């Protein structure tokens, strides 16, 4: 059973994943300036709607999907955990390709990353605890929300602070690093997922078929939830594209760190997060290409 499967993941591999995630966050942070955060004061509504979509609407939709589909416990908890993570590292790039508000996307990524210290462990515990099969895993593993918060803080906040500081002091250097580092970090992360799965290929093949459809549906719900939330809030198409993409692109790398750090590499959870890491890049780039066919009204 997938609930009892554990993927082979050496401690050294976890350290490597932590380092990769830090590089990914640093690649986002060097694209940030302190002036980007003026959006919080000047035009707070789109940002607040985006955070609502990411940390409230998406976990709620995930829970409703789990109730409807009734997946196995570890798969359900994997979906819940991914939904509890902040936006993914390529959301800003994809928003730009979609013709959306990149500044809003950048601000959402930054603020969601900071907010994840509290909101990610809360959402995992709250929504995971409402589905009894997943709640049993949470009770058995005795997850400490404080330890999750510390892990999230070290993996996300430190690279964020370093990146913003470097961009403020050496803008010429960060301008040269920005695009190559974004592509490099995304490529390294995807390669890491492929290599990690290769070490567990038999188990991955055994479970991926059943999980793939759930991940595709979950990702579609994420994009759809972001779009509907932004539309109901009467955001402009320019801002709506940013909220839609930011909700549908999740930091599955952080999800994998949490899964192997706190859940012992539980098979269903790990395969969900790994497949998310590959699929959301494909679906996000495809959606951006469709959106970019028309110019978004600001």
H-helix or E-strand containing 131?
Answer: none
Other C-beta atoms lying within 10 Å of the C-beta of residue 254: 29
Is residue 64 within 8 Å of residue 224, measured between CB atoms?
Answer: no
Other C-beta atoms lying within 10 Å of the C-beta of residue 234: 10
Which CATH code for domain 2-291? 1.20.1530.20
pTM: 0.82
Parse the chain into domains and list their residue ranges. Answer: 2-291
Q: How confident is the prediction along the chain (298 residues), in pLDDT tens digits per residue?
A: 555 555 555 555 666 766 776 777 787 777 767 666 666 677 789 999 999 999 999 999 999 999 999 998 989 999 999 999 988 767 877 888 888 887 788 788 878 888 888 898 899 999 999 999 999 888 877 666 777 777 777 776 788 788 888 888 888 888 788 778 777 776 776 676 676 666 666 666 667 677 889 999 999 999 999 999 999 999 999 999 999 999 999 988 788 888 877 887 777 888 888 888 778 888 998 999 899 887 767 7
Structure tokens at 90: 């390529």
Contacts of 232 (CB under 8 A, 6+ apart): none
Can you tell me which residue has the tokens 């976890």? 14
Closest CA to 86 of 106, 104, 52, 113: 113
Phi, psi of 266 (to 5 degrees): -55, 125
Other C-beta atoms lying within 10 Å of the C-beta of residue 150: 13
């Amino acid at each position: 059973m997938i609930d009892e499967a554990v993927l082979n993941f050496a401690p050294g591999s976890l350290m490597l994943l932590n380092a990769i995630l830090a590089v990914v966050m640093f690649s986002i942070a060097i694209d940030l300036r302190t002036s980007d955060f003026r959006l919080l004061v000047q035009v707070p509504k789109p940002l607040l709607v985006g955070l609502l979509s990411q940390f409230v609407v998406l976990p709620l939709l995930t829970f409703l999907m789990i109730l409807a589909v009734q997946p196995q416990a570890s798969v359900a908890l994997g979906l819940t955990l991914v939904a509890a993570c902040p936006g993914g590292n390529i959301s800003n790039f994809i928003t730009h390709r979609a013709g959306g508000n990149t500044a809003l996307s950048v601000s959402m990524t930054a603020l969601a990353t900071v907010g994840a210290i509290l909101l990610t462990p809360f959402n995992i515990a709250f929504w995971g605890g409402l589905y009894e099969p997943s709640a049993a895993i949470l009770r058995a593993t005795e997850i400490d929300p404080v330890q999750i918060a510390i892990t999230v803080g070290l993996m996300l906040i430190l690279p964020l602070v370093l990146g913003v500081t470097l961009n403020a002091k050496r803008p010429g250097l960060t301008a040269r690093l920005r695009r190559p580092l974004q592509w490099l970090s995304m490529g390294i992360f995807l390669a890491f997922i492929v290599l990690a799965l290769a070490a567990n290929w038999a188990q991955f093949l055994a479970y991926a078929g059943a999980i793939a459809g759930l991940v595709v549906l979950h990702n579609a719900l994420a994009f759809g939830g972001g779009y509907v939330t932004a539309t109901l809030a009467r955001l402009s198409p320019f801002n709506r594209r940013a909220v839609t993409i930011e909700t549908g692109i999740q930091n599955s790398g952080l999800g994998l760190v949490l899964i192997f750090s706190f859940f012992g590499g539980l098979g269903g959870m790990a395969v969900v997060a790994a497949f998310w890491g590959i699929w959301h890049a494909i679906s996000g780039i495809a959606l951006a290409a469709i959106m970019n066919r028309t110019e978004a009204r600001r």
